[in-house]
Amino acid sequence: MADTRQYCTFYLDGKFFGIEVTQVQEVTRYQQMTEVPLARKEVSGLINLRGQIVSAIDLRKRLQMPDRPKNFLPMNVVVKTTQGVMSLLVDEIADVMDLSQDQFEKTPETVKGIARELLDGAYKLDKKLLMVLNVEKTICLAGTIY
């Protein structure tokens, strides 16, 4: 039997992404944020997660996608990283999926820009492509840590 992995899946601008479940602490609804002066544009602010202050990174901005409509509130995927706990803002949460590693492929050539650097690869599913996001690269690139 092939090695399988579980992914927490979500949508960004209609595109399907996943993060390994082992890196996900929890998923929460939108929370009010405190703005961080002089922060990079990808940092939407800080949230209070039961007394723990957590940076919230907007994945749309990080992946250089169009801004989220103003009346559309994102969800928080709270992840555990080597730099501590962070929140990744996504459009919509999907399911947890068990996928066989023999279905895993390198990032398609059609993926361009910063996304190429931040993805580990992809799974071709029945009618869509699941792009696997590398959490560590997403929060730390070119020596900058959020």
Is residue 24's pLDDT more than 80? yes
Least confident range from 13-27, 57-71, 107-121, 131-145: namely 131-145
The closest alpha carbon to 77, from 142, 12, 145, belongs to: 12
Q: What is the pLDDT of residue 100?
A: 92
Q: What are phi and psi of 115, to 5 degrees?
A: -55, -35
Q: What is the pLDDT of residue 140?
A: 80
pTM: 0.91
- Residues 108-137 have a mean pLDDT of 91
Domains along the chain with CATH numbers: 4-141 (2.40.50.180)
Contacts of residue 20, Cβ cutoff 8 Å, sequence gap at least 6: 5, 6, 7, 8, 132
